[in-house]
Structure 1
Amino acid sequence: MIRLIFIFLLLVFKTEAQTSVLNVADSLFAHGNYSKAIAQYKAYNNPPEVYHKIAKAYIAIGNYDEALINYEKGVETNPKNTLLKYDYGKFLYRTKKFKKASEVFNKLVYTDYKNPNFHYELGLVLEQLKDSTAQNRFFSAFKLDSTHQKAIYKIAKFHLKKGHNKLVDKYIDIGLSSYKNNKQLISLKAQNYYVRHQYENAIVWFEKLLELGESSAFIHEKLSLSYAQLYEFEKAIEQRKLVLKINPLDATSIYVIGTYYEELADFKKAEEYLWKALALLDKPLDAEYMKLATVLNRQKKYKESIEALKTAINENPLNEIASFHLALTLSTYYADYDAKIKAFEDFKKKFPKGKLIPFVNNQISILKEEKFLNVQKKKD
């Protein structure tokens, strides 16, 4: 009898001791002492019960190989533990083992077809595998849970890429009805208006993103472009300058700001920004130098404009428009009629079959007539 009592007490002691080991391990994990927690878990006498905990601890310290080993042991020894398999599948997705992850989530979907998250996670994996049936899984998740924000986003984004604008509106509105401040859906809604050239509506939704604390070069750029389409160039400039706060060397934004200042007839500012952009841009710049020349001409800086146009032509010798603008600017800059006429004659030699030849011939005729009248006036 005493022996039985002793054995019983020994078993109770061991059980309590193991419970204590587990409690200590859980406490260490909760407080971020992951390596010490792993050591405690490994001292526990029922490994199948703690494999998933060891795996999570290894993930926390960045040892994914050991995490994988322990997840696999956990799944093998707990074949009916659905939650463990779910975590295992997400781990496989996270570590880019997409084929294996698809196998895990396919089995989970088969086990519990009415769980929307199983469909959603499988959709994510299939998306990475370039499997077109990914959308079917996102749609299944949505059908099982019409408030599933992540599934709705995936569906709406897919239709936006396909140009199915009405379907985009439909799914976004459903999503926003249950979560009105979903930033991802609001961004898609703004983009959906933008691609349809409904700029006033696009502005409303891009501005809403800013109100919710979102700020990115993409948002400010699209707002700027939308305002410009509505001829609100001051606001367009303001938004483009916010892009420059994020990326000070964004040559395209600097150039666009210059063109907006030109629209506002602030040619001094336009010139300033266009010069800055040209210093940064690394591509054929004939169009940009032509824009600069236009701004310089508006300020009657003809000599500088001529140099800008010559640079544009050097960038692209076949740019007929640049050569024509050079002839026009030279004819304005020169006082001598022969020099004016020569500027257009040089254009004709370079582009004998150019589309602008009729206009150039007309300009030459006008200049020759003006020259004749001027000579006659001096004789009189």
Structure 2
Amino acid sequence: MIRLIFIFLLLVFKTEAQTSVLNIADSLFAHGNYSKAIAQYKVYDNPPEVYHKIAKAYIAIGNYDEALINYEKGVETNPKNTLLKYDFGKFLYRTENFKRAAEIFNKLVYTDYKNPNFHYELGLSLEQLKDSTAQNRFFSAFQLDSTHQKAIYKIARHHLKKGHNKLADKYIDIGLSSYKNNKQLISLKAQNYYVRNQYENAIVWFEKLLELGESSEFIHEKLSLSYAQLYEFEKAIIQRELALQFSPKDATSIYVIGTYYEKIDDFKNAEKYISKALSILDKPLDAEYAKLATVLNRQKKYKEGIEALKKAVKENPANEFSSFHLAITLEAYYADYDAKIKGYEDFKKKFPNSKLKAYADERISSLKKEKFLKVEKKAD
């Protein structure tokens, strides 16, 4: 009898000791002492019960190889633990082991077909594997839970990319009906209006993103372009400047801001931005130099305009419009009639079959008459 009591007490003490080990390990984990928690879990006498905890602790310290080993042991010793398999599948996805993740989630879908998240996670893995059936999984998740925001986003984005604008709108509106501040769906809503050239509506939804604290180069750029389409160039400039904060050396944005300033007759700022863009750009720049020349000419800076146009011609000698623009600017700059005339004659020699030849002939004729009348007047 005494022997039985002794054995019973020994078992009680051992059980309490192991419970204490587990409690200490859990406490260490909860307080972020992951390595110490792992050491405690490893002395626990029922390893299958703590493999998943060890795996999570290894994830926390960035040792994914050991995490994988312990997840595999956990799944092997707990084959009916659905939650463990679900966590394992998400771990495989996060570590870009998409094929194995898809296998895990596929089994989970088979085990519990009515769980929408199993379908959604399987869809994510299939998507990474470029498997077209991913959309079927997202749709199944939506059918099982019509408020599943992540599945709705995937479906709506798919339709937007395919150009199915009405279907995209349908799913976006369904999602927003249950979560009106879903930033991802609001972004899709704005983009859906933008690609259909419905700029006023696009602005409303892009602005809503800003109200919700979102700010990105993409949002500000698209807002700027939308305002420009509506001829609201001051607002377009503000938004493009905000976009520029994300990429300060984006020559395209700098150049576009310059063209917007030109639209509102602020030629000083137009010159500033276009000149800055030209100093950064590394591509054929005939159109950009020609634009700069236009801005300079509007300020009667003809000498600078001539230099800009010479660069435009050098960038693309075959562009007859740049050469003709140069002839016009030479006429405006030079007081000497022969110099004015020579600009047009040089153009005719370079482009003898140009459609602009008739206008060049007209200007040459007019300038010769002006020169003759001026000489006659002096003689009198």
Q: CA RMSD in A?
A: 1.3
Greater mean alpha carbon deviation, residues 220-229 or residues 370-379: 370-379
The match for 1:271 is 271
After TM superposition, give the deviation of residue 339 of structure 1 in Å.
1.8
5+ long unaligned stretches in structure 2: none
1:1-380 → structure 2 map (5 Å cutoff): 1-380=1-380
Counterpart CA distance in 1 for 2:326 and 2:118 is 66
Counterpart CA distance in 1 for 2:158 and 2:356 is 46
Give the counterpart letter for 1:63 in structure 2: N
Give the counterpart letter for 2:304 in structure 1: E
Give the counterpart letter for 1:270 in structure 2: A
After TM superposition, give the deviation of residue 378 of structure 1 in Å.
4.0
Give the counterpart letter for 1:276 in structure 2: K
How big is each residue's C-alpha offset from its partner over 1:331-379, in whole Å with a ceiling of 9 and x where there is no partner?
A: 1212222222211111122122223223323333333343344444444
Give the counterpart letter for 2:139 in structure 1: F
Give the counterpart letter for 1:192 in structure 2: N
Counterpart CA distance in 2 for 1:355 and 1:60 is 72
Give the counterpart letter for 1:227 in structure 2: Y
Greater mean alpha carbon deviation, residues 298-307 or residues 217-226: 217-226
After TM superposition, give the deviation of residue 59 of structure 1 in Å.
0.3
5+ long unaligned stretches in structure 1: none
How big is each residue's C-alpha offset from its partner over 1:54-75, in whole Å with a ceiling of 9 and x where there is no partner?
A: 0000000000000000011111
Counterpart CA distance in 1 for 2:150 and 2:361 is 65
3-state SS of 2:245 partner: helix
Counterpart CA distance in 2 for 1:2 and 1:352 is 122
Counterpart CA distance in 1 for 2:154 and 2:305 is 51
Give the counterpart letter for 2:28 in structure 1: L
Give the counterpart letter for 1:288 in structure 2: E
After TM superposition, give the deviation of residue 16 of structure 1 in Å.
1.1
Give the counterpart letter for 1:363 in structure 2: R
Counterpart CA distance in 2 for 1:255 and 1:176 is 37
Counterpart CA distance in 1 for 2:9 and 2:325 is 102
Instruction: Provide the TM-score with structure 1 as the length reference.
Output: 0.97
Give the counterpart letter for 1:84 in structure 2: L
Counterpart CA distance in 1 for 2:57 and 2:158 is 36
3-state SS of 1:246 partner: coil
After TM superposition, give the deviation of residue 46 of structure 1 in Å.
0.6
Give the counterpart letter for 1:209 in structure 2: L
Counterpart CA distance in 2 for 1:269 and 1:153 is 42
Give the percent of matched residue pairs that are identical in Structure 1 and Structure 2: 84
User: For residues 355 and 136 of structure 1, do their structure 2 counterparts lie closer, same or farther at Cα, with a shift above 3 Å needed?
Assistant: farther
Greater mean alpha carbon deviation, residues 143-152 or residues 364-373: 364-373
Counterpart CA distance in 1 for 2:55 and 2:2 is 43
Instruction: Provide the TM-score with structure 2 as the length reference.
Output: 0.97
After TM superposition, give the deviation of residue 325 of structure 1 in Å.
0.5
Counterpart CA distance in 2 for 1:172 and 1:280 is 40
How big is each residue's C-alpha offset from its partner over 1:236-286, in whole Å with a ceiling of 9 and x where there is no partner?
A: 111111122333222222111111111110111111111111122222221
Greater mean alpha carbon deviation, residues 199-208 or residues 269-278: 269-278
After TM superposition, give the deviation of residue 225 of structure 1 in Å.
0.9
Give the counterpart letter for 2:64 in structure 1: Y
Counterpart CA distance in 1 for 2:161 and 2:356 is 41
